[in-house]
Amino acid sequence: MKRIVGKHAEYKKLESNILQISQEAKAAKKKYSDVIDATVGMLHHEEGNVFKFDVVDDVLHNLNDAETYHYAPVRGTKDFTEGVFNWVFGENAEKIKQNFKYSIIPTTGGSGAISNSFYNFNDFNQKVLLPNYYWSPYQNFALEANIDLKTFLMYDENFHFNVADFKEKALELAKEQDRLCVLLNDPSNNPTGLCMTKQDWKEVIQVLNEVSRMDIPVILIHDIAYIDYQMKDTKYSREIFESYLDLDDDVLAIVVFSGSKTFSLYGFRVGAQIGLSKTQETVDHFTRVGDYSVRGRFSSVSQPGLNIIGKIFNKQENKIRFEKEIEIAKTMLKDRATLFLEEAEKNNLEILPYCGGFFISVPTKNKNIFKDLVDDHVYVIPMQDIIRVAISSLAMQDIKELVRKIKKHI
Ligand SMILES: Cc1ncc(COP(=O)(O)O)c(C=O)c1O
């Protein structure tokens, strides 16, 4: 057989256990009435339909032809870029503007932002540092960019963010490859539900600065996909950005925004990467390579997606409606999480500390946990020594039974 694919592509085989298990769960649900599917990372109502925002629906259905069908500008629109910036940084937006140079590039979801950043801010064969529990597509983005991942321990013995291990691995990697590119998914981490504290962020930034002072390039990729689902007031979920003010001059921070999660626009493929640095030249490089990669990898983003978000942020009436609806979404998630935690406590089931997001994780020593649960008609995502439960797609009425079954097999 002739070698039909390029050498660099020989290894490729998409083994997304998440998508596959989700399909299996759906098929089982058609066969049996008692199947519990806790695999899907999309927010769903109790009755099983996707959580749509009415304001998103209204704006979408009132877009004109140009706003729907034309190619979107590579740089997006001011309504979109400034709207996203102000939404992401909230009360800290002005402070960030005063202290940083910045540039906002629309991308095909948070995925497009991460994959472009992996590609542009590493040499081939270098590694990105991230915690040992992570959203598995990061691995695909890395291999596609000819780089790899290196992990540090997410938790210390008290299940707090492990700053000490982060520091050790960061210094080791930086010295080894003369570059440090870090990826943190915070707050409301997927898969664990961890939220780093303000102090954790302060210490992480001290480490980044320490490396930068060794004359090593430092890039922080901050994936905030679930920032709007932290179990805190929106105002407080943005507090972590205060620590950014301590960043040294030429560190580059790339904040990754996902329109999928914030607006339930999963299928529209819209998001953004916000490049921030105190040095204009660093931001100019970010914009230069970012623009190029948008064009070179996916041409531009979804025009309707871009316009829906722009129109929600630029019109006060829409923004207020959106803010109200996102509170409803948060309350729905919070009710599920609260019940899950209560049931876990009653059943003596140990779970990882949850402070927001679509997922709760449960540590396990059972190597057959996935199969055991499937035999009991429960579908979750197994990862190393935890199982990930998507409360985003879980109905309240299933939680008691789910916790009981998990406890039985854990
Ligand atoms: C941790 C994390 N980051 C980023 C994303 C990106 O999603 P999208 O590309 O749909 O914006 C997801 C989606 O599941 C995610 O879980």
Shortest-distance Cα residue to atom 6 of ligand 1? 110
Q: DSSP state, 227?
A: G
| For ligand 1, mutation pick of 261, 306, 391 (most atoms within 8 Å of CB) | 261
What CATH number does the domain located at 59-315 have?
A: 3.40.640.10
Spatial contact of 401 and 33, defined as CB atoms under 8 Å apart: no
Would the pLDDT of 355 be above 90?
A: yes
Per-residue pLDDT, 95: 95
Per-residue pLDDT, 389: 97
Would the pLDDT of 406 be above 90?
A: yes
Q: Pairing between strand 386-390 and 381-383?
A: antiparallel
Average pLDDT for residues 63-92, to the nearest whole number? 95
| For ligand 1, mutation pick of 133, 260, 309 (most atoms within 8 Å of CB) | 260
Reported pTM: 0.96
Query: In whole angstroms, what is the distance from residue 305 CA to residue 308 CA?
Result: 5
Average pLDDT for residues 215-232, to the nearest whole number? 95
Per-residue pLDDT, 177: 97
Per-residue pLDDT, 11: 86
Average pLDDT for residues 284-289, to the nearest whole number? 98
Query: In whole angstroms, what is the distance from residue 360 CA to residue 371 CA?
Result: 19
Alpha carbon distances (Å) from 63 to 90, 264, 308, 315, 344: 27, 18, 8, 14, 46
Percent of the residues in the chain that have a pLDDT greater than 90, as a whole number: 91
Q: Where are the extended beta strands (E) located within 48-165?
A: 101-107, 127-131, 148-152
Residue 176 — very low, low, confident or very high, per pLDDT cuts 50/70/90? very high
Type of residue numbered 86: N
Per-residue pLDDT, 74: 87
Q: Pairing between strand 378-379 and 36-37?
A: parallel
Q: 7-52+319-409: what fold? A: Aspartate Aminotransferase, domain 1 (3.90.1150)
The tokens 């935690």 sit on which residue? 341
Q: Tell me what the pLDDT averaged over the chain comes to.
A: 95
Taking the CA of residue 60 as centre, how many other CA atoms within 13 Å lie in the half-sphere pointing to its CB? 12
Residue 1 — very low, low, confident or very high, per pLDDT cuts 50/70/90? confident
Q: Pairing between strand 180-185 and 218-223?
A: parallel
Residue 223 — very low, low, confident or very high, per pLDDT cuts 50/70/90? very high
Question: Within 6 Å (CB) of ligand 1, which residues are found?
Answer: 41, 109-111, 135, 185, 190, 223, 225, 258, 260, 266, 271
Long-range contacts of the stretch 233-240 (C-beta < 8 A, 24+)? 234/90, 234/323, 234/326, 235/90, 235/91, 237/90, 237/187, 237/356, 238/88, 238/89, 238/90, 238/91, 238/92, 239/92, 239/198, 240/186, 240/187, 240/196, 240/198, 240/201
Type of residue numbered 293: S
- Ligand 1 mean position, distance from CA 178 (Å): 29
Query: In whole angstroms, what is the distance from residue 401 CA to residue 397 CA?
Result: 8
Higher-pLDDT residue of 19 and 294 is 294
Residues 266-292 as b/e (b if ≥16 CB within 10 A, e otherwise) read bebbbbbbbbbbbeeebbebbbebbee
Q: Of all atoms in ligand 1, which is nearest to the CA of residue 41?
A: 14
Alpha carbon 280 to its chain's center: 27
Per-residue pLDDT, 15: 76
Residues of the chain with CATH 3.40.640.10: 59-315
Q: What values do phi and psi take at 384, rounded to 5? A: 40, -110
Q: What values do phi and psi take at 155, rounded to 5? A: -115, 150
Would the pLDDT of 18 be above 90?
A: no
User: Is the backbone peptide bond immediately before 187 cis, with ω within 30 degrees of 0?
Assistant: yes
Tokens of 362: 């449960």
Q: Of all atoms in ligand 1, which is nearest to the CA of residue 135?
A: 1
Per-residue pLDDT, 343: 97
Shortest-distance Cα residue to atom 12 of ligand 1? 225
Would the pLDDT of 115 be above 80?
A: yes
Give start and end residues of each alpha helix (H) in 121-162.
Answer: 137-144
Residues of the chain with CATH 3.90.1150.10: 7-52+319-409
| For ligand 1, mutation pick of 42, 105, 108, 111 (most atoms within 8 Å of CB) | 111
Residue 17 — very low, low, confident or very high, per pLDDT cuts 50/70/90? confident
- Ligand 1 mean position, distance from CA 261 (Å): 7
Average pLDDT for residues 291-308, to the nearest whole number? 95
Would the pLDDT of 235 be above 80?
A: no
Shortest-distance Cα residue to atom 7 of ligand 1? 110
Q: Where are the extended beta strands (E) located within 67-124?
A: 101-107
Residue 40 — very low, low, confident or very high, per pLDDT cuts 50/70/90? confident
Per-residue pLDDT, 13: 86
- Ligand 1 mean position, distance from CA 337 (Å): 20
Per-residue pLDDT, 237: 83
Per-residue pLDDT, 135: 95
Q: Of all atoms in ligand 1, which is nearest to the CA of residue 269?
A: 10
Tokens of 258: 């996902």
